[in-house]
Amino acid sequence: MNFKNPQLLFLSLFGAGFFPRAPGTFASLISLIPLYLLHKFNVHVLLFAFIFILLVLISCLCINQFQKKYNLHDPSWIVIDEFLGIILFFPFIINFNAYHLLSAFVLFRIFDIIKIFPASYFDKIDNGYGVVIDDIVSSIYAISVYRVLFLIVDFL
């Protein structure tokens, strides 16, 4: 693969997808940095939503092109979907400290790995939409558990 290719850099999250072990986990972990920066720079939720939707669409199109061109199905080096799963937490994080960010990371990875329906359904779809949507569904599960968990903790 040619690292001068902007699509490859985008889909691999600037090469993070080529991390030798657990590239999805590594990409999810480093995605906490832009997640924190969104908070630090006080990005408005509507601007975030616009950019997020745009990134989802661009990701799906780029993945479709790569999968067709190289006859691939969700190769491990495509980690933009993990980035999108983590970054979706932005409007739902209660506190942007290490404890909450680590909780978001762990919950997302658990749900991304176990793929509860309908994430498991989307994971089997052989195009960019399936690659991305399964992570978004997993993120929605993780966000739900995160919010309930911290609602309970705050109640106690």
Name the more confident of 70 and 36. Answer: 36
Q: What is the 3-state secondary structure (H, E, C) of 115-135?
A: CCCCHHHHHCCCCHHHHHHHH
Q: Does the structure show a pLDDT above 80 at 29?
A: yes
Q: Does the structure show a pLDDT above 70 at 156?
A: no
pLDDT value, residue 74:
75
The whole-chain average pLDDT of the chain stands at: 93
| Entry pTM | 0.92
What mean pLDDT comes out for the span 60-82?
Answer: 89
Query: Where along the chain do its domains lie?
Result: 6-155
What mean pLDDT comes out for the span 87-97?
Answer: 95
The packing angle between helices 80-87 and 128-155, to 10°, is 30
pLDDT in tens, 122-137: 999 888 899 999 999 9
Residue 6 CA neighbour count, 13 Å, CB half: 1
Name the more confident of 107 and 7. Answer: 107
pLDDT value, residue 5:
85
Q: What is the residue type of 11?
A: L
Burial of 35 (0-12, 13-18, 19+ CB in 10 A): buried
- Give me the percent of the chain exceeding a pLDDT of 70: 97
CA distances in angstroms from 40 to 43, 44, 124, listed in the order given: 8, 11, 37
- Give me the percent of the chain exceeding a pLDDT of 90: 80
Q: Does the structure show a pLDDT above 80 at 114?
A: yes
Could you tell me if 82 and 24 are in contact, meaning their C-beta atoms sit under 8 angstroms apart?
A: yes
Q: Does the structure show a pLDDT above 70 at 19?
A: yes
Q: Does the structure show a pLDDT above 70 at 2?
A: no
pLDDT value, residue 4:
83
